[in-house]
Structure 1
Amino acid sequence: MHISLRAGEKIYINGAVLCADRKVSLELLNDATFLLEAHVMKVEDANTPLRQLYFIVQIMLMNPTDTATANEMFQNSIQRTIEVAENVTLLAGLKAVKNLVDTNRVFEALKAIRMLFPIEGKILAGGRVTSPTQAA
């Protein structure tokens, strides 16, 4: 996998933080868990239930040697969120995220959570989100 970084950009690989001092291209030759700086959420941005969930999963990805506490937080958070979710699409997405984390596919779980942000945004804004079965 080829990754290009700009000067000053960070990448998190298997728990290590790397910072490029100039424009650089990296080639990862084996399986590695990584997160680009652009996808890293700051703690102050974790201000909704899904963003908090994202932050927890992000911790699991960025610190793979110590995930027990983060996994416990994730399991509690996802369960509470599933219990209150009324939107069918959101509920299905949350269950998929739980399955991804439970099968140690943390990076895919982050992507799946990001895909749910627009649904959560509409719900929090008081807008009605139509599920695919309701739209038909």
Structure 2
Amino acid sequence: MTLRISLRDGEQMIVNGAVLRASGRVELEVENRVAILRGREIMNPTDATTPARRLYLACMLSYIDEPGRTIHHDMVVALLGDLLGVLESPRARTVCLDFAQHVAIGDYYRALGSCRALIDYEAAALARGEKEFAQ
């Protein structure tokens, strides 16, 4: 199955660990299985400022850095354990378990999708906490 990707001028993507930048508008067709992240899916290490974001970064590195996958995977497991220890919401815990299932079978790309949901949950919880703290 062919994957079609459109990149805007200057947009980055990672293919099997290599960072690529589009020069002009680019249409690509990927015809085999590779680790691909588009610009909006790439997290800079300086943006990993919360527990869910650190989990996303470790998972992303597991996905794109095959030689270092074992180290990154161990970090994913540790961070997931920490996160599960503090989450109270049944929905957030379910998303964590979904994430863990994807990681367990090596489907890091789908795990990243689950982790984005955790980042959204975390952001909403932090916003609620800040609002309560300000009152």
* TM bucket, shorter chain: 0.7 to 0.9
One of 91, 106, 118 as aligned partner of 2:93: 91
Task: Give % identity.
Answer: 29
Task: Spell out, residue by residue over 1:26-75, the C-alpha distance to the aligned partner (whole angstroms, 9 max, x if none).
Answer: 00011122000121111221111101100111111221232011011111
Q: Over aligned residue pairs, what C-alpha RMSD do you find?
A: 1.3
CA distance in 1, matches of 2:67, 2:25: 29
Structure 2 counterpart of 1:101: 103
Structure 1 counterpart of 2:49: 47
Q: TM-score if structure 2 supplies the norm length? A: 0.87
Task: Spell out, residue by residue over 1:62-93, the C-alpha distance to the aligned partner (whole angstroms, 9 max, x if none).
Answer: 21232011011111110111122111011111
Structure 2 counterpart of 1:131: none
SS of residue paired to 1:22: coil
Q: TM-score if structure 1 supplies the norm length? A: 0.87
Unpaired runs of 5+ residues, structure 2, are 130-135
1:2 partnered with 2:4: yes
CA distance in 2, matches of 1:58, 1:5: 20
Structure 2 counterpart of 1:63: 65
Unpaired runs of 5+ residues, structure 1, are 128-136
CA deviation after TM superposition for structure 1 residue 117, in Å = 2.1
CA deviation after TM superposition for structure 1 residue 125, in Å = 2.5
Amino acid at match of 2:6: S
CA deviation after TM superposition for structure 1 residue 10, in Å = 1.5
Pairing 1:111-126 to 2, within 5 Å after superposition: 111-126=113-128
CA deviation after TM superposition for structure 1 residue 122, in Å = 2.2
